[in-house]
Amino acid sequence: MISRTVREALEDALGDRVRFDFPLARCTSLRVGGPVDALVTPETREEVARALAICTAHRIAHFVIGAGFNTIALDDRLEGVAIQLGKLRRLEERPDGGLRAEAGVSHAQLTNFCIERGLSGLEFGCGIPGTVGGWIAMNAGIPGREVKDVVQEIEVISPTGRKLSHLPRARLRFVYRSLCGLAAGSLILSALFRVTPSAPGSVRSAVDRLLAVRQKTQPLNVPSFGSVFKNPPGDFAGRLIEAAGLKGLRIGGAEISTLHANFITNCGGATAADVLKVIREAQAAVWQKSRVRLVPEVRIIGGKA
């Protein structure tokens, strides 16, 4: 539990943009998770800096929750401050062929902006859940195309909130489903993407094609958190899970999707414990069947899983 002094400092700095004992189940796409000591939703970079400075001064742990996709929050209370950047969602087209997007910009907002302005290059991201900050942090993508292919630079604030840095692509170490090398506790505030002018109709057609594939192959109408496991080299996690006969496996309210085996859905009343049991069952079954170790892509917060 955070102290009364910290509560008062956060309230003074952020007003109604801070809530205490907030259930993270309301912040994650899978709708599971226990309460966090404090959830802050800053509206400006200045408010982000204030929140980080308070955490630093009082030695309080902090982490970014983003839009809550690709995240499991455990059922027990989580100590510290969760920072949600969903109110930082400005988009700015640059005359040099760049598009600046703040961390809270959603995939739908980004896609619609590109369609309206006739900007090509980011169509692959349509339907990838989450926000720009999360995309960068996990190097989101589809087969053959990832965020690293279109990022020119990112804007990062230090863990103490005292320093803003613009890091060019050459200084970023992207790997499969991750961005390595940023200081622990630093926050991604925005990204500059490379785009090219195109006809709005052409951009929309490309987006529509990709969305149609997603709608046919992924469980988009029920709570989930996107892909659960990273694809092993030369194979697909979903194929391996299906080959192990686990499509439709259900523990409590958590189920391996019958549409796509690399998705776990909340069929009603699922807990984080249910989800972790399904994950471990899938790992064990795939190892027994195919001798492949599945590595979670999903991030687990709240303690040791």
| Cβ neighbours of 108 (radius 10 Å) | 11
Which pairing describes strands 178-180 and 173-175: parallel, antiparallel, or unpaired?
Answer: antiparallel
Burial of 213 (0-12, 13-18, 19+ CB in 10 A): exposed
Task: Give the span between the Cα atoms of 274 and 282, in whole angstroms.
Answer: 13
Look up 281 and say whether it is catalytic: no
Asked if 9 contacts 121 with a C-beta cutoff of 8 angstroms, the reply is: no
Active-site option among 123, 153, 155, 297? 297
Cα(216)–Cα(219) distance, rounded to whole angstroms?
Answer: 8
Left (φ > 0), alpha (ψ -120 to 50) or beta: where does 66 sit? Answer: left
Cα R_g (the chain), whole angstroms: 20
Is 106 annotated in the active site? no
- Determine the 3-state secondary structure of 217 from DSSP: helix
Beta bridge partners of 174: 179
CA distance 162 to 164: 7
Q: Compute the Cα dihedral for 166, 171, 176, 181 and give only its sign.
A: negative
Pick the catalytic residue from 190, 224, 227, 257: 227
Beta bridge partners of 81: 38, 62
Cα–Cα distances (Å) from 199 to 120, 127, 209, 241, in that order, read 8, 20, 16, 41
State the pairing for strand pair 71-73/299-301: parallel
Query: Which one is catalytic: 19, 89, 169, 177?
Result: 177
Q: Would residue 177 show up in a list of annotated catalytic residues for this protein? A: yes
Catalytic residues: 177, 227, 297
